[in-house]
Structure 1
Amino acid sequence: MSNVVVVSAHPDDEVLGVGGTLLKHIKRGDTVYWIVTTGLIENHIFSKERVESRKQEIKEVERTIGISKTFLLRYPTMSLSSRSVIEMVSDISEIFNEVKPEIVYCVNRSDAHSDHRVTFDAVMACTKSFRYPFIKKVLMYECLSETEFAPALPEKAFIPNYYVDISNFMDNKIKTMQIYDSELGEHPFPRSIENIKALATYRGASVGVKYAEAFQLIKYIDKD
């Protein structure tokens, strides 16, 4: 059994990119932890009701997937910058040393949303083997509406090289995503049920299974 951490910049990233894989980890008996780096705050953009409904969504997703503990860092959403990294590194380092993950899933380094890019930088700073010897595997996941809208430059491409068969977990992934009802839209909106299934179908067809989630493996250390 392994300790697993999934890091999302915003709630729903984790379901879109790793939902089926997390359910598979739970089925295997692994312990899953969740770090959310940003949160909604009541202001001219987000009402008090929306802030409260987001809290309930997080709790329901946590329960539905079977997450053991969620860490909410509560940096204001859409406000992360390079200045946020130093403080965030300290927060994530403290969590990593508490739960000692062997496997880390993180948002893609070149996603269109700056919150994703800053989150990735902070997470990577917390994967140095001499400081975090318990980490054996680090993977980036793709996130619909962010990864595919990154600049079409070779150095920013998401290159999948690690696939997880989620055929037995696809229905529950969709049900979990529906908790985030306000984040979903009708096709061709990127975060539509049809598009989520289409991506999983395409990734699955790439490796000979019905549905899959794709990752870019950043680090793998084979040790006891």
Structure 2
Amino acid sequence: MKTRTARLAALAGVPIVVVASAAVAAPPAERRIATAAANTACWDFSDLPQTTEYRIGDTFTAEHADIEFKHYLLNGNKVTNPAALAQATNTQISRSDRPELRTCLINAHVEPNAPLRAVTLKFGHTGSANGPHTNIGVNGELKEVSGSLTGLNGQVLGNAATGRVAIVVNLDDPQADPQTGTMELHAIKGAIEKFTFGGVQFFVDDVCLKK
């Protein structure tokens, strides 16, 4: 197995935690904000080399997680197309800052170093001749989605033994092409021990892991 290692930069928007002196304690609300920030790691893919193409079986290490690229599921079949790849690109399909991660007929399988209570990400997906197509998975259960990701909104995904999540999908503009928005995975039982995303042409950015 080929392995490439890269360190992903933390998202610039994560709040800076200011430590108060013992003489001036932070009020409870500020302490809660600081704790939330300390328990969240976000990726903006700015440190991922844009010249590197990731293929099936390639891996890299990010902040608090390992990512392996795996076969994409299309019409119930694993894609073996040699053109399948993931790559950081100088684009803004997800309506976030450049760069972003593009997945083309490939899945990014993420295994956090510790169980998570939530995952959020920004996405943009462009359609093929048959429209947008994505794979979303949590704790071993994988959903193949034809059309808009809003089809997952309100659904529950995961494994009863390890954890299940409620999915929230919000589109920036339902009429826009490409479709862009945010997806949230919230643990409602157990925790998120692994999750997967990919698409025919699926772009993601600002991926945040919340412990």
Fold match, TM over 0.5?
A: no
Which of the two has greater helix per residue? 1
Which of the two has greater strand per residue? 2
TM-score relative to the length of structure 2: 0.28
TM-score relative to the length of structure 1: 0.27
Structure with the greater alpha carbon radius of gyration? 2
